[in-house]
């Protein structure tokens, strides 16, 4: 299996374009500068805590007033702004740990040639290489998960060629002390509530190492290794003076098996694959195809997840684990009205299910209990709730403004747990990890929803995430956020009730609540088609101020939900109209929104439109290092698009496993293969196609099972025995 390399030919001039490495808790962005190297560092818990918790007294009574207005068909935005303004909270920002700066002294007075900056995505190793005069310089960096340590080496092919001076910077007060070969950095988060410490150990081979108490100077070394540990509110261990090569070997043995599990391999041209990414993006922008870039992007999406969400780490935030600021864009927080969920869309299908476990720990250990308090105090409901954003301190209340009055964040997160179970049905996981959160979330909605006059259950006051609709009052048209039962609420809650009932059917834990849930499900509204043939976003067919809005919330039942599928052709058609309208008004203009559209077109079996969206993503929302840009950098687009690239080749959300459900028809996509993609039911699939037709596939199952495999128009029944590979040959 060949190594997949993300190749650049320039130093990063901005943080956003640097090279990411990470091991879940720690992250680094490497600029790869020849004269000055900057290594920006992160530790996942350096996060400012907002301490002014809102007193929820009276919230519930005021909310009732707003709800009544909505039930009377009135616009409730203005009174809600007035009545509820005191109750909107906020969270602090995830923060940078600061930057190690290395001033590099080259003795050769010659130009730099043959510069390259790479990430070997398979091994998880970043590198820089260049030639200066007669000397070839190499830098190697990685984040060791087994050691929870960052490692960086500068070396050259001639003795004594490495000289540098190292100092540490942060855009806020820090204490730096250098003693012997170790630099210790101490600082506080912006709220001053949390302290953090980094230890940087310098090991020079040959030459001299001196310190003035703050900086390190190394002269004429053969190589220099730097090892970094970091921790918040506690001391990190001092890095051992490791053998770099042994540490590297251990890291590759740890990292690469995950990366080797799965891949997409559209047939591509070797000389185009070898180009630096900026040149490939430029070619694309000129209208050339580059299916090989999809292979790379998919792998990079897996690399980023494995590097930012692992073991006992926190889940990937808006920027994974990478952030160069004290006050990051959107606080680099956990946005739960699409972004955090999208971060995990590829985890199962792209064969990194372990990387989803940090999300589940976060839900159970950080969100569940605080969400119960908010459910009780704000809504007088049982169960647990999360609104549209959160942090690492269990924030679960409404935030920001009227668009923060949206109670569905936790319910949507339940889908990740449920999908994890569907992909690998493990009753123990369901009982211990998924069920406690899903049950509590369901309980909230059983209490929260109220019947309207017709006996239909309604959610709200709520919003269709961040979108508004027009209402006319006294002849004046205004945009309103608040409503009852926007389609997304309906879809998320319907799916939640279904998954909860399915959990009870496996576990049989709470017959009374199962009955309540089944009764509630029977009273939920369905989906409606509007005057233009579109799927309606609200209960009424409103005009919209922003018809190209980035959120496509009402498409939820198509993806990531599954209620709209080939068995509901009218609703599929309605969504076709919806997407066309969104796009004709400039939709898909943020990276994550574009990534969602690729998934939606894949689920509509419109491979050509999916390919157009991929091209749009590459052209408008992809930085030179393949980071997704909102703008600015936001990691959800990387993850959501990786999921979509798999979804075009393999789907399993209905009762069949579908091969190549949305392969684009252009010549560039007609030949290729994939390996290690996962289908629901504990199945792993490899497949190859030629001239657009599947020629072979291999299926493996975790347990004995029967698969209905859809290949073209045929459905084939395949019996699989646990852990036995079954090869199917479909002829040339």
| Binding string, residues 625-664; x marks residues near ligand FUC by CB under 6 A | -----x---x------------------------------
Binding range to ligand FUC, per CB under 6 A, among 67-75, 105-113, 196-204, 330-338: 330-338
Options 1-9, 252-260, 331-339, 716-724: segment touching ligand FUC (CB under 6 A): 331-339
In the list 101, 170, 299, 335, the residue contacting ligand FUC (rule: CB under 6 A) is 335
Question: Site mask, ligand FUC, residues 685-724, x = CB under 6 A?
Answer: ----------------------------------------
**Residue 17 burial (C-beta neighbours within 10 Å; 0-12, 13-18, 19+):** buried
Binding mask 87-126 for ligand FUC (x = CB under 6 A): ----------------------------------------
Does 481 bind ligand FUC (CB under 6 A)? Our answer is no
Nearer to ligand FUC, 416 or 503 (CB): 416
CB 59 → ligand FUC: shortest distance, Å? 22
SS3 state at 688 = strand
Structure tokens at 533: 């043939």
Structural contact between residues 332 and 635, judged by C-beta atoms closer than 8 angstroms: no
Phi, psi dihedral angles at 563 (to 5 degrees): -70, -30
| Binding to ligand FUC, residues 8-37 (CB under 6 A) | none
Q: Which one of the spans 334-342, 499-507, 607-615, 713-721 is the region binding ligand FUC (CB under 6 A)?
A: 334-342
Nearest-approach distance from CB 484 to ligand FUC, in angstroms: 21
Judged on CB neighbours under 10 Å (0-12, 13-18, 19+), 61 is exposed
As measured in angstroms, the least distance from the Cβ of 347 to ligand FUC is: 19
CB of 131 to ligand FUC, least distance (A): 42
Q: Which of 308, 317, 339, 442 binds ligand FUC (CB under 6 A)?
A: 339
Q: Which is nearer to ligand FUC, 239 or 591 (CB)?
A: 591
Nearer to ligand FUC, 187 or 404 (CB): 404
CB atoms near residue 696 (< 10 Å)? 16
What minimum distance in Å lies between the beta carbon of 492 and ligand FUC?
A: 16
Shortest Cβ 346–ligand FUC spacing (Å): 18
Q: How many whole angstroms separate alpha carbon 93 and alpha carbon 400?
A: 14
Run of H or E including 513: helix 511-522
Question: Shortest approach of ligand FUC to residue 388 CB, angstroms?
Answer: 7
Please, which residue, 101 or 335, has the CB nearer to ligand FUC?
Answer: 335
Member of 227, 244, 303, 330 binding ligand FUC (CB under 6 A): 330
CB of 525 to ligand FUC, least distance (A): 25
Q: Is the peptide bond before 632 cis (omega within 30 degrees of 0)?
A: yes
Nearest to 39 by CA among 115, 127, 101, 96: 101
Rounded to 5 degrees, φ, ψ at 688 are -130, 145
Q: What number of other Cβ atoms are within 10 A of residue 621's Cβ? A: 24
Binding positions for ligand FUC, 447-476, rule CB under 6 A: 466
Ramachandran category for residue 682: left, alpha or beta (phi over 0 → left; psi -120 to 50 → alpha): left
Cα separations in angstroms, 115 against 11, 111, 138, 221, 269:
8, 11, 10, 21, 23
Q: Pick the closer one to ligand FUC by CB: 303 or 592.
A: 592
Q: Taking the CA of residue 265 as centre, how many other CA atoms within 13 Å lie in the half-sphere pointing to its CB?
A: 18
3-state secondary structure 439-488: HHHHHHHHHHCEECCCCCEECCCECCCCCCEEEEECCEEEEECCECCCHH
CA diameter of the chain: 84
Tell me which residue has tokens 């940090």: 358
Least separation, in Å, of the C-beta of 581 and ligand FUC?
19
Q: Residue 347's closest CA among 312, 314, 294, 301?
A: 301
Asked if residues 318 and 339 have their Cβ atoms less than 8 Å apart, the reply is yes
* Distance in Å, CB of 593 to ligand FUC, minimum: 7
Residue 613, SS3 per DSSP:
helix
- Residues 6 or more apart whose CB falls under 8 angstroms from that of 554 comprise 464, 486, 487, 488, 491, 535, 536, 537, 578
State which of positions 291-320 bind ligand FUC (CB under 6 A): 318
Q: How far is the CB of 373 from ligand FUC (least distance, A)?
A: 24
62: three-class secondary structure by DSSP: helix
Interface with ligand FUC by CB under 6 A: which range of 116-124, 129-137, 335-343, 498-506?
335-343
Q: Which of 390, 590, 625, 638 binds ligand FUC (CB under 6 A)?
A: 590
Closer Cβ to ligand FUC, 530 or 632, answer by number = 632
**Looking only at residues 533 through 552 of this chain, which bind ligand FUC when binding is defined by CB under 6 A?**
550-551
Size of the site for ligand FUC (CB under 6 A): 12
Q: How far is the CB of 335 from ligand FUC (least distance, A)?
A: 4
Q: What minimum distance in Å lies between the beta carbon of 592 and ligand FUC?
A: 6
- By CB under 6 A, name the binding residues for ligand FUC: 318, 330, 335, 337, 339, 466, 550-551, 590, 592, 630, 634
């Amino acid at each position: 299996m060949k190594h997949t390399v993300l190749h650049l030919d320039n130093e990063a001039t901005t943080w956003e374009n640097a090279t990411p490495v990470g091991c879940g808790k720690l992250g680094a962005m490497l600029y790869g500068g020849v004269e000055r190297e900057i290594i920006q560092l992160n530790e996942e818990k350096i996060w400012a805590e907002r301490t002014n918790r809102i007193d929820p007294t009276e919230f519930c009574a005021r909310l009732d007033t707003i709800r009544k207005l909505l039930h009377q068909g009135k616009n409730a935005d203005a009174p809600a702004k007035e009545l509820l303004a005191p109750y909107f909270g906020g969270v602090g920002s995830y923060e940078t740990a600061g930057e190690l700066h290395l001033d590099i002294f080259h003795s050769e007075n010659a130009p730099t040639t043959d510069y390259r900056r790479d990430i070997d995505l398979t091994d998880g190793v970043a590198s820089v290489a260049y030639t200066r005069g007669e000397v070839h310089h190499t830098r190697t960096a990685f984040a060791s998960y087994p050691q929870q340590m960052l490692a960086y080496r500068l070396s050259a092919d001639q003795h004594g060629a490495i000289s540098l001076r190292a100092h540490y910077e942060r855009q806020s007060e820090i204490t730096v002390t250098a003693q012997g070969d170790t630099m210790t950095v101490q600082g506080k988060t912006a709220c001053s509530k949390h302290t953090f410490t980094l230890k940087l150990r310098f090991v020079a081979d040959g030459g001299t190492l001196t310190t003035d108490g703050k900086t390190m100077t190394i002269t004429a070394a053969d190589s220099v290794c730097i090892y970094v540990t970091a921790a918040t509110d506690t001391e990190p261990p001092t890095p051992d003076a490791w053998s770099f090569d042994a540490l590297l070997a251990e890291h590759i043995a740890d990292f690469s098996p995950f990366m080797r599990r799965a891949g997409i391999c559209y047939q591509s041209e070797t000389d185009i694959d070898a180009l630096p990414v900026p040149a490939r993006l430029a070619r694309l922008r000129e209208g050339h195809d580059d299916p090989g870039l999809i292979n790379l992007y998919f792998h990079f999406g897996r690399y980023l997840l494995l590097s930012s969400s692992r073991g006992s780490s926190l889940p990937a935030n808006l920027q994974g684990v990478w952030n160069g600021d004290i006050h990051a864009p959107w606080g680099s927080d956990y946005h739960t009205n699409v972004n955090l969920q999208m971060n995990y869309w590829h985890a199962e299908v792209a064969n990194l299910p372990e990387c989803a476990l940090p999300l589940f720990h976060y839900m159970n250990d950080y969100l569940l209990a605080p969400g119960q308090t908010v459910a009780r105090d704000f809504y007088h409901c049982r169960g647990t709730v999360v609104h549209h954003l959160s942090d690492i301190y269990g924030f679960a209340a409404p935030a920001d403004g009227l668009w923060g009055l949206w109670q569905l964040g936790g319910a949507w997160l339940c889908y990740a747990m449920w999908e994890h179970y569907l992909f690998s049905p493990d009753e123990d996981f369901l009982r211990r990890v998924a069920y406690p959160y899903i049950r509590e979330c369901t309980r909230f909605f059983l209490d929260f929803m109220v019947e309207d006059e017709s006996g239909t259950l309604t959610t709200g006051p709520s919003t269709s995430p961040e979108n508004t609709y027009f209402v006319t009052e006294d002849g004046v048209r205004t945009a309103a956020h608040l409503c009852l039962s926007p389609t997304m609420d309906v879809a998320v809650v319907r799916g939640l009730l279904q998954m909860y009932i399915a959990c009870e059917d496996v576990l049989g834990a709470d017959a009374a609540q199962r009955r309540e849930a089944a009764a509630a499900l029977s009273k939920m509204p369905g989906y409606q088609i509007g005057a233009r043939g579109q799927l309606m976003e609200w209960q009424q067919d409103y005009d919209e101020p922003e018809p190209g809005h980035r959120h496509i919330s009402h498409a939820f039942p198509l993806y990531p939900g599954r209620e709209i599928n080939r068995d509901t052709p009218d609703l599929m058609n309605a969504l076709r109209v919806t997407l066309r309208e969104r796009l004709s008004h400039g939709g898909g203009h943020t990276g994550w929104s574009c990534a969602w559209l690729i998934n939606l077109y894949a689920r509509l079996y419109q491979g050509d439109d999916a390919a157009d969206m991929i091209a749009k993503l590459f052209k408008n929302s992809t930085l030179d290092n393949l980071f997704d840009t909102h703008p600015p950098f936001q990691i959800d687009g990387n993850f959501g698009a990786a999921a979509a690239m798999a979804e075009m080749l393999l789907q399993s959300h209905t009762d069949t496993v579908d091969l190549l459900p949305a392969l684009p028809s252009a010549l560039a996509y007609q030949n290729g293969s994939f390996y290690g993609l996962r289908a629901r039911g504990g199945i792993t699939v490899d497949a190859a196609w030629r001239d657009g037709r599947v020629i072979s596939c291999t299926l493996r199952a975790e347990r004995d099972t029967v698969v209905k495999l859809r290949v073209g128009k045929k459905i084939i029944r395949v019996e699989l025995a646990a852990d036995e590979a079954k090869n199917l040959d479909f002829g040339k």
